[in-house]
A and B are shown apart, each in its own frame.
Chain A
Amino acid sequence: MPIEIPKDKWPGSIKKVTLGATSAEGGTRAKSVTVGGETTLPYLHFEAPTPNKPVIAIEIKSHRPDDWSPLLGEVWGDAMNDPAQWAKKAEEAGADIIVLALTLADSPEDAVRIVKSVLAATGLPLIVWGPGQAEKDNDLLVPIAEATKGEKLMLGICEDKNYRTIVATAMANGHVIQARTPMDVNLAKQLNILITDMGLPADRIMMDPTTGALGYGIEYGYSVMERLRLAALQGDSMTQLPMIVTPGFEAWKAKESKVGDGVPEAWGDWKFRAIHWETLTAVALVESGADIIVLRHPESVKRVKETIEELIAV
């Protein structure tokens, strides 16, 4: 009995976003990374190929974090004391992109110096996150954007209450924006509208829909991403942006990953559990359309990369 397999043909597609600029492109990166460009739902090769495979970013901090899980301290060791060293180790661990998260303690001068040291230490494209407070973010990101003009960094994190300054400096200095909204399709779309209304082209924006971790709301993030991707394919231009997700940050916040003592026996071995937590959080997001996946543990990086390879292998 012949069965015809239904295929979806979508009117819309995802925009391509490129991070990092090589010397030929006006920067100093060894290579740039392009994500996006999908014309159908994730990895449905019988409908369309995946034009740019999702990439892994590893998150490092400007100063050794004192609230990270000891398991992470074990693998990164002394490199955590020096962002440049850390970035190098991250590249060795398989990162396609480095995420440098700044802290409240950084002065604008320090921040610029650290960013430059990381750019010098690795040829990978760089994403820089402010410490997450509107004023401080603006104080740090503006001088960084100016000092790295042409490098095509991604600057984060833009939110609906604080986007103008960062967008303006990204526009002026040729950078890309990470637009974060709290787990809601409408809010994600709204922030994209606000940012493009300022005049930043949509191919210089990535959406960060906020996802939650396994056991901590990942179902919301998962569905929000599916809905955003569906809306984009249906032709809604304000959702046609690639997505960056932060399962490393989310999963290592969870008690399941973070701590080994004082937890139920049924949770099993700490280290394996922590890796499962980060990996499964990441894989669920990969399945729902993530384009850049920001992780923390090298073992998770390895597993998620293998997963992506298998998904794109035709």
Chain B
Amino acid sequence: MQHTVSFTHEEKQSSVSVPTGTMLSDAAHLAGVEIGQPCGGQGRCGRCAVLVTDGNVRRRSTLRLSPADVEQGYALACQTVVEGDVLINVPPQEKIERRLTTDRVVAEVTIPADYDFDQHQSIHRVYLELTPPTMEDQTDDWARLQTALRTQANIPEVTCSLHFLQTLGKTLRDGEWQVTLVVDRDMEFPEKPVRLIEVFPGRVDDYSPLWGCAIDIGTTTVSLWLVDLVSGHVRAQVAEYNGQIARGEDVISRIIYSGKAGGEQEMRQLVLDTINELVETACKRVNAKPEDVMKATISGNSTMMHLLLGIPAGSIRLSPFITAVNHPPVMLAKEVGINIHHGGAVDCLPGVASYVGADITAGVLSSGLEHAEHVSLFIDVGTNGEMVLGNRDWLVTCACSAGPAFEGAGVVNGMRATQGAIEEVWINGETFEPTYRVIGGGKPKGICGSGLISLLAEAFLTGVIDKAGNVNLMAGNSRVREGAHGGEYVLAWGAESESGEDIVLTRVDIDNLLRAKAAIYAGFSILADTVGVPLEMADRVLVGGSFGKYINVEKAVQIGLLPDMEWSRFEFLGNTSVKGAYAALLDWRMRDRITEIAKRMTYIELSADNSFYDAFTSALFLPHTDMNKFPSVAAALER
């Protein structure tokens, strides 16, 4: 039986008569309408979605379409057959891409709903009206201030710095005996003496900002959020590469460097320079001065914390892997060397072990995992992969070295996720011809982490590489060839690329990516094994780290980086370390909870036995040696 299929595409109409059962994509081709099929018509990429506005079709597969899409009438042209006269609307490609990329969910910054400056913040303003001195009342300035504090603010005991005393007299007189103090007090133990940080003449508006900052010292990037402690708002977010990179890309190199003569001091200064520059930049944005910042809450891995504080870090890397300090006490900014108010408090968050630091305890807090009833898995992917499994009853954690492959490093054509990076790839299974998307839309310069994950998944599903990552040189296709490092796949010919050189994925790149993903998968499978909880029992998989922002779940599952679960169980949280620091900066209860988390977490040392190695080799395959663990990928391979 013949049917008429009518297409509307870029405001042009065309139609064609075809028999029952004709694929929509074939009908479109006959009608002269070109629908892109990057995956070669295998229903994998979703790029050929069209809108069926009228008539009967049968959808063989709706992978990549949500139920809502189908409800609206969307269908994949390569997976849908004609069963009557139909009207088809072919949407512009960009519109489709926008639909498809919504599976990446990044949590936004929200101020904790119940934040109450008076109740939860340790930094406060205290306005005092002092009785001016007279010949009868020759009480000294300091005692006079203490009396006022006792009688007007109910603060019986205080401490202060010499600097405070040096400026007190002038400020009292400038303000005509009316002053506003900035104080730091222990909210949990209010009977402890209150520390006076600064004194301002006159009355400072209660609602004017009082600044604090949350800092995450990453091995690669330092992030800083400038926060108005009164309202709780983040007023500026800035980030910069950690100045220590010049002395080594990974923590081990930096520990080794810091152990050389003068190395400790140099490393400390490098990161301080980075932080101080960030403080300045952030303050400029809000018209504030660094000395207006009264508190800094710092998160970061254990090595970064040691190097910031100039504490010898050598024992971190040597068996039995001991830190000098997991939980430093609160210190003064002047002492630490951070250019905020010199009397400002520097609060370094607590870590658990050499390779599970404050970035993870803070991350756990912001992920909410530690008070969930059900088991969740938290993964922070960076150069090191750290994971935490648990619920409100127990928490276990481990760390493994994944290497920088997913950050685009150590891969021939790898690069950071910036302008010119290929961020997503599809490969036609018949022709091996790729289609890719470039950040910024220009000529490609290289491939970023998400592009590499995407490329690896496509290469594997289409048979460009086998499950072990060997490039299929017997395919007799010009895209696969023998290169300097064994087989390689040409993603972009020199003519298409920015540099004029071919952009390739080599055997060595593939090995690096496989090792990185295998280390991460092995890490959390061992965690699960150790406590005897099957991975599938994890209700949610919370992915932190800036890497987690751009990752495509489907592809990450296809290469076996993430466990095979419904996509709805994954949540992408972005930089959980700085978020945790932010929460702790605002609210002393959150700060306490991080301490509790650090105490409760049980660290599993992966190098202690062979089970990690076994899990690692098992994961060193696409997607995994045990295909039963990846049913959705098995199904994708069947198609």
Contacts and interface: CB of A to CB of B under 8 A. Distances in A.
Interface of A: 160-161, 164-165, 168, 184-187, 189-191, 193-194, 197, 236
A194 B466 contact: yes
Interface in B417-468: 466-468
B334 to A, nearest CB: 55
Nearest to B617: A186
Question: What is the interface of chain A mostly: helix, strand, loop, or mixed?
Answer: helix
A190 B467 contact: yes
28 contacts: A160-B468, A160-B470, A161-B470, A164-B470, A164-B472, A164-B473, A164-B474, A165-B474, A168-B474, A184-B617, A186-B614, A186-B617, A186-B618, A186-B625, A187-B617, A189-B625, A190-B621, A190-B625, A191-B468, A193-B467, A193-B621, A193-B625, A193-B627, A194-B468, A194-B470, A197-B466, A197-B467, A236-B626
B620 interface: yes
Contacts of B627: 193
B423 to A, nearest CB: 30
Nearest to B619: A186
Nearest to A191: B468
Nearest to A165: B474
Contacts of A186: 614, 617-618, 620-621, 625
Contacts of B621: 186, 190, 193
Nearest to B473: A164
- Closest 4 CB pairs between A and B? A186-B617, A186-B618, A186-B625, A190-B621
A189 B467 CA distance: 12
Contacts of A194: 466-468, 470
Contacts of A184: 617
A193 B474 CA distance: 18
Contacts, number: 35
Interface in B170-214: none
Contacts of A189: 625
A184 B466 CA distance: 19
Interface string B591-619: 00000000000000000000000100110
A183 to B, nearest CB: 11
A190 B620 CA distance: 9
Given A164-B472, A236-B626, 7 more contacts: A164-B470, A186-B614, A189-B625, A190-B468, A193-B625, A193-B627, A197-B466
Residue in B468, B474, B620 whose Cβ sees the most chain A Cβ within 10 Å: B468
Contacts of A185: 614
A197 B622 CA distance: 13
Nearest to B486: A161
A164 B468 CA distance: 12
Nearest to A198: B466
A159 to B, nearest CB: 11
Contacts of A161: 470
A160 B467 CA distance: 10
B12 to A, nearest CB: 45
Nearest to B637: A197
Interface string B77-114: 00000000000000000000000000000000000000
Interface string B120-159: 0000000000000000000000000000000000000000
A298 to B, nearest CB: 38
Residue in B466, B474, B614, B625 whose Cβ sees the most chain A Cβ within 10 Å: B625
Contacts of A191: 468
B76 to A, nearest CB: 27
Nearest to B463: A197
A184 B614 CA distance: 8
Contacts of B468: 160, 190-191, 194
A165 B467 CA distance: 17
Contacts of B617: 184, 186-187
A133 to B, nearest CB: 15
A11 to B, nearest CB: 14
A264 B175 CA distance: 95
Contacts of B474: 164-165, 168
Residue in A185, A186, A187, A194 whose Cβ sees the most chain B Cβ within 10 Å: A186
A164 B471 CA distance: 11
A193 B626 CA distance: 10
Contacts of B626: 236
A184 B617 CA distance: 8
A204 to B, nearest CB: 19
Residue in A160, A185, A190, A191 whose Cβ sees the most chain B Cβ within 10 Å: A190
Residue in B466, B620, B626 whose Cβ sees the most chain A Cβ within 10 Å: B466
A23 to B, nearest CB: 34
Contacts of A236: 626
A238 B625 CA distance: 9
B477 to A, nearest CB: 14
A62 B614 CA distance: 38
A164 B474 CA distance: 8
A185 B620 CA distance: 12
Interface in B616-636: 617-618, 620-621, 625-627
A193 B623 CA distance: 12
A314 B472 CA distance: 49
B363 to A, nearest CB: 31
Contacts of A193: 467, 621, 625, 627
A237 to B, nearest CB: 10
Contacts of A190: 467-468, 621, 625
Nearest to B620: A186
Contacts of A197: 466-467
A194 B467 CA distance: 7
Nearest to A235: B628
Contacts of A187: 617
A293 B326 CA distance: 56
Nearest to B472: A164
A164 B620 CA distance: 20
A300 to B, nearest CB: 32
Contacts of B470: 160-161, 164, 194
Contacts of B466: 194, 197
A299 B625 CA distance: 40
Contacts of A164: 470, 472-474
A236 B627 CA distance: 10
A284 B474 CA distance: 40
Nearest to B474: A164
B514 to A, nearest CB: 11
B310 to A, nearest CB: 44
A160 B471 CA distance: 12
A191 B470 CA distance: 12
Contacts of B620: 186
Nearest to A192: B625
A40 B472 CA distance: 37
